Amino acid sequence: MCHNSAQATTWSTLEVVTRWHQLFKGTLLTQQYARGETLPDYLMASLNDTVAEYRKRLIDISWFMRLLNESVARQANREDNCTGHFWEGRFKSQALLDEAALAACMAYVDLNPVRAKMATTPESSNFTSIQQRIKAAVKGEQPKALLPFVGNPRRSMPKGLPFDLSDYLALVDLTGRCIRDDKRGYIEQSQPNILTRLNISAEHWLILTTQFRKCFHGPVGHAEELTTLCQHQQLKKRATISICEKIIGING
């Protein structure tokens, strides 16, 4: 799978077929092509149609989630010796339009086990990206399987998350401790640098990291980003503008 559609358009026919075969057997034609066999023109035309469909699916998040959900459901049903629906509902896809929305959503997901009382700290939250990042950070590294933190936005920005790793880890650790039942849910006034830079108040940050899904049911970002998105998609109404301005708007 690939999250970068522009990159996917540059893949050669062989690269698309190779990627597909990592997931599925493919067809007789794709298998022949992958082995380097020469195909006549009329079969190449059929192959190209198949590859075009493969390329589209390999960058389709909906198709990926359907595939992932189905395989997990089948495995779980086999283990439980049962049949029927496994997932509560269809996955949700929301546009994160700026750094504030990205940071809030990342922290919300990373702190899922803490909110669910399955863990008391981020580092003890199994099967999370934050746990992987903390384990790697102890060694002075970043996980190779995850998109790296590359620091705050700047000219000639490298590919990665626009935050300092140390700032984000400190923020998630502090937030996780604040939302535990034995704490008062309070972030001191000397809040982490990342909140100051993103202009999010400590009070609103705690709302974001405990109620993100309840707060937002559409694109998330500052007003100007929502306006740009709506103009691009030719939408007449900015459905989430009110809650976005309230929670991740100007500090206060």
pLDDT, tens only, 82-121: 887 777 766 677 888 899 999 999 999 999 998 888 888 8
Question: Is there a domain that residue 183 lies in?
Answer: yes
The predicted structure's pLDDT at residue 108: 93
Q: What pLDDT is stored for residue 180 in this prediction? A: 65
| Per-residue confidence band for 252, with pLDDT thresholds at 50, 70 and 90 | very low
What pLDDT score was predicted for residue 218?
83
Q: Residue 216: left (phi > 0), alpha (psi -120 to 50), or beta?
A: beta
pLDDT at 251: 45
- 206 & 135 share domain: yes
> pLDDT tens-digit profile of 143-201?
998 999 998 888 888 889 999 999 999 889 888 888 765 555 556 556 677 888 888 88
Given this model, what pLDDT does residue 2 score?
56
12: in domain: yes
Residue 68 lies in a domain: no
The CA-to-CA distance between both ends of the chain, in Å, stands at 41
Total of domains in the chain: 2
Q: Is 228 in the same domain as 176? A: yes
Share of the chain above pLDDT 90, in %: 37
Residues 163 and 38 in one domain: no
- Does 225 have pLDDT greater than 50? yes
How far is Cα 73 from Cα 69, in angstroms, rounded to an integer?
6
Nearest alpha carbon to residue 99 among 236, 183, 196: 196
Tens digits of residue pLDDT in 117-140: 888 888 888 989 999 999 999 999
Same domain, 146 and 28: no
Among candidate residues 170, 127, 168, the one with its CA nearest the CA of residue 151: 168
Say what the pLDDT of residue 7 is: 84
Whether residue 10 lies inside any domain: the answer is yes
Q: Residue 3's pLDDT is what?
A: 61
Same domain, residue pair 117 and 36: no
Q: What is the pTM of this model?
A: 0.72
pLDDT at position 12 over 90: yes
- pLDDT for the residue 197: 84
Q: What phi, psi does 90 have (nearest 5°)?
A: -70, 150
Can you give the pLDDT at residue 42? Answer: 92
Among 56-60, 69-73, 238-242, where is mean pLDDT lowest? 238-242
Mean pLDDT of the chain: 85
Output the pLDDT for position 242. Answer: 85
159 and 47 in one domain? no
Give the domain extent around 205.
Answer: 99-248
Asked whether the predicted pLDDT for residue 69 surpasses 80, the reply is yes
Q: Output 40 or 227, whichever has higher pLDDT.
A: 40
243 domain-assigned: yes
Instruction: Check residue 240 and give its pLDDT.
Output: 76
| 32 inside domain | yes
- Residue 40: count other Cβ atoms within 10 Å of its Cβ: 7
Q: Give the pLDDT confidence of 183-199 residue by residue, as tens digits.
A: 555 565 566 778 888 88
- Do 206 and 144 lie in one domain? The reply is yes
205 domain-assigned = yes
Residue 44 belongs to some domain of the structure: yes
Return the pLDDT at 187. 63
What are the residue ranges of helices labelled H in 199-250? 202-215, 223-232, 241-248
